[in-house]
Amino acid sequence: MNRHVTRRVFLGATVSSLSLSNNGVTSGAGSDQNLGVDQKKTGWIDAHVHVWTPDVDRYPIDTRRYSVDDMVPASFTPQQLMAECQPAGVERVVLIQMSFYNTDNSYLLDVIKKHPGVFSGVAIVDHHAADLPTQIEALSAGGVRGFRISRRGEGAGNWLTDPGMARLWKIAGRHGLSLCPLINPRDFAVIDQLCLKYPETRVVIDHFGRVGVTGEIVPAQLNSLCKLARHPNVHVKTSAFYALGKKQPPYKDLLPMLRRVVDSFSPQRLMWASDCPYQVQGKHDYQSSIDLVGDHLESLSKTDRQWILRDTSEKVFFNKVS
Ligand SMILES: [Zn+2]
């Protein structure tokens, strides 16, 4: 498929009705309430995007760790996001809870609610919270389909022994929700152990597990990522191209890594994602990200491409849950 085909699919998806209000969720409801509803979903899905609003009075950030100066760009609302997505034929998006908000998922939930059928969500929860099951139930009812786990530089070592983490893995597995580790290659061994322990729990690893983030695709790291394919529930986001390898559009130096994960996991366990707004800063742009999978990965069949650009994400993040 080339980009012309990508655009044709996009144009077939009743795009004219995809109009978001100027101020994101803080504007009055009304004109865009039918957004995405009852449309045939043929457009692509971006499996990893962050949104935030400059309205920190209504949606406060975690000031113990962040200040408004850390919010760069100053805002990335659904409106700004869709201006990037729509020309590339992307119709639905998985919102990943932004670290500025820590465990306060209210902006993410409000955006999902305001645009039915367009967004799914991956939230952040405090896995030590006494009412974790209740929190998860409420988030799931609000359209959340996964939980982000990360250790901010500490490594994932204690995840194997942490009782809160055990609870989170069990609950997620029971309800068909995903755990989405933002990890580094040194953490793959821990994920491997957790997957043995909780085989029911679906796992979606962000950004190739950051193989290539140092600028170099280290073969041993890629091998250990691909070894995780032995667990049928492990999925990988082929994403954040701006941050991996040479970090230079059109990102073709990442093609060998992409082919390798396609061979190991199959397209049915891979999902493309941009990691906006970071993918649209400086020399980077949205179309270059989707084109790496849509245009440059020539060995893929049309069906394979549809899995990576839409169907895997649809199955994992736009599913009904029990
Ligand atoms: Zn991200």
The three-class DSSP label of residue 122 is strand
State in Å: Cα 76 to ligand 1 middle: 13
d(CA 23, CA 53): 9
State in Å: Cα 98 to ligand 1 middle: 8
pLDDT of residue 321: 80
Q: Are 120 and 46 in contact (CB under 8 A)?
A: no
For residue 87, whether the previous peptide bond is cis, meaning omega lies within 30 degrees of 0, is no
pLDDT of residue 322: 64
- Residue 43 parent element (H or E): none
pLDDT of residue 3: 43
pLDDT of residue 19: 45
Query: Could you tell me which residues are beta bridge partners of residue 276?
Result: 49
Give percent helix, percent strand, percent coil of the chain, each to the nearest 5. Answer: 45, 15, 40
Categorise residue 144: left if φ over 0, alpha if ψ from -120 to 50, beta otherwise.
beta
pLDDT of residue 68: 96
State in Å: Cα 48 to ligand 1 middle: 6
State in Å: Cα 96 to ligand 1 middle: 7
Q: Which residues surround ligand 1, an ion (CB under 5 A)?
A: 275
How many C-beta neighbours within 10 Å does residue 73 have?
12
State in Å: Cα 49 to ligand 1 middle: 6
State in Å: Cα 257 to ligand 1 middle: 19
pLDDT of residue 2: 42
Q: Are 123 and 108 in contact (CB under 8 A)?
A: yes
How many C-beta neighbours within 10 Å does residue 215 have?
10
Beta-carbon contacts of 168 under 8 Å, excluding residues fewer than 6 positions away, are 125, 127, 132, 147, 149, 179
- For the chain (length 322 residues), average pLDDT per consecutive 10? 40 39 37 44 95 98 96 97 98 97 97 97 96 97 97 78 96 97 96 97 98 97 98 98 98 98 98 98 98 95 97 95 72
State in Å: Cα 30 to ligand 1 middle: 30
**This prediction's pTM:** 0.89
- Residue 127 parent element (H or E): none
The three-class DSSP label of residue 92 is strand
Beta-carbon contacts of 273 under 8 Å, excluding residues fewer than 6 positions away, are 46, 47, 48, 49, 94, 237, 238, 239, 240, 313
State in Å: Cα 181 to ligand 1 middle: 11
Note the pLDDT tens digit of each residue in 21-70: 433 343 333 334 334 444 557 899 999 999 999 999 999 999 999 999 99
State in Å: Cα 50 to ligand 1 middle: 6
State in Å: Cα 75 to ligand 1 middle: 15
pLDDT of residue 217: 97
Q: Which domains does the chain have, with CATH numbers?
A: 3-18+41-317 (3.20.20.140)
